[in-house]
Amino acid sequence: MMTAVSTLGLGLALALAVLLALMTLLPFLRVAHGAVRSCDFPRLQICGIALALAPILYAFLPIPWGAILGAGMLMAAAIQAAHVIRFTPLWRRQSLRPEQEDPQAQVSLLAANVKLSNRAYSRLIELVRAEAPDILMAIEVDADWTRALEPLHPLFPHRVVHPLDNGYGMALFSRLPIEGHELRELLVEKVPSIRAKVRLRNDTLFRLYVVHPEPPVPSHDTEGRDAEIGMVGIEASKDELPCVVAGDLNDVAWSLTTRRFQRLSGLLDPRVGRGFYNSFDARYPLLRWPLDHLFHDPRFRLIEMRRLPDIGSDHFPMLFRLQLSPLPRGEEPDAATPEDRAEIREMAAKEAASDREAVGSDWEDERS
């Protein structure tokens, strides 16, 4: 006879199974809302919990319900695994390695979401000095952060600095010449992005986009984020220069939005076939997923990709080293569909007509 405790535990297991099933099915909807798109994030966690829950349901529920619900959890785990398996060594890599390294054709980029309320300035400064990247992209910087980073100015003579106190400020520091840049607010006021032209040491130019769109929240749609990511993808696909898009996309590598971005842009994800490189949340080991990205033109080859040590932020910094190659282009993503472009146009038009404050602008009013 089941005790009250075991009955309660079984009830919680059933409730968890329903929640996992719902979170597995919701992302199939092409609905740009935080309540739906947030379910894209914890696919690894859902997969693990569903696998652990399946034998419990099978063992403790009467036939046939135990078998049915246990099989349902195994199916949910399989669906989640199918989404994330591309980001394991079991999958073919998208980004190729160069046949021969050429330091003059290389660029190293360090992307760091510093977290606006984080005041451990020295940890980032020391990390940058140790890694010596060609380009530093610091995201969520305010005026205090930009002043604190002034000791790095001698290392990076070329800079684009745009501090904001709403969590969307950004700074681009470069050893390599920046030969023209645009600081844009593509859709939402005070949500900037940077579009720059950078010259490599071998005198070759490439285009760099630094982006930080809004995060998904359950109470708001994600059309601002999704449209901005898509618009950058379309722009990159039309650019004559080889492009790199980097930053905190507030989206996971396996989501509908990011997969659509790849189709629209034709850019490659170096995580595919290599690993997750989970960059968020640095504070909670069991709640991590890849939010800080770099996508590159197939003419680039990947030399190195590393997740760097904690700098006091909720994001780990990421380091990428690329080489622009004269060799034929590598693998390319699937082509964009008319539906992809139509969705971006519709969302962009809706956002352009809206008048609202950026999502999360008040999240860190209290500075730590």
Lowest mean pLDDT among 6-10, 42-46, 220-224, 301-305: 6-10
pLDDT one-digit tens code per residue, 42-61 = 999 999 999 999 999 988 88
Give the closest residue to 55 by CA, choosing from 42, 44, 69.
69
Name the pLDDT band for 329 (thresholds 50, 70, 90). low
- As a whole number, the mean pLDDT across the chain is 91
318 has which bridge partners?
111, 307
2 has a pLDDT exceeding 60: no
CATH of region 103-350: 3.60.10.10
Domain spans of the chain, in order of start: 4-87, 103-350
For residues 61 and 23, what is the distance between their CA atoms, to the nearest angstrom?
Answer: 22
Which strand (E) or helix (H) includes residue 216? none
The whole-number average pLDDT for the span 289-295 is: 96
Name the pLDDT band for 367 (thresholds 50, 70, 90). very low
C-beta separation of 246 from 208 below 8 A: yes
Helical packing angle, 65-84 and 43-60, nearest 10°: 160
The DSSP output letter for 219 is T
For residues 306 and 318, what is the distance between their CA atoms, to the nearest angstrom?
Answer: 6
Regarding beta strands 193-199 and 178-184, do their DSSP bridges make them parallel or antiparallel, or are they unpaired?
antiparallel
10 has a pLDDT exceeding 80: no
The pLDDT of residue 178: 97
Six-digit token pair at 65? 């319900």
365 has a pLDDT exceeding 60: no
C-beta separation of 47 from 73 below 8 A: no
pTM reported for the whole predicted model = 0.92
366 has a pLDDT exceeding 60: no
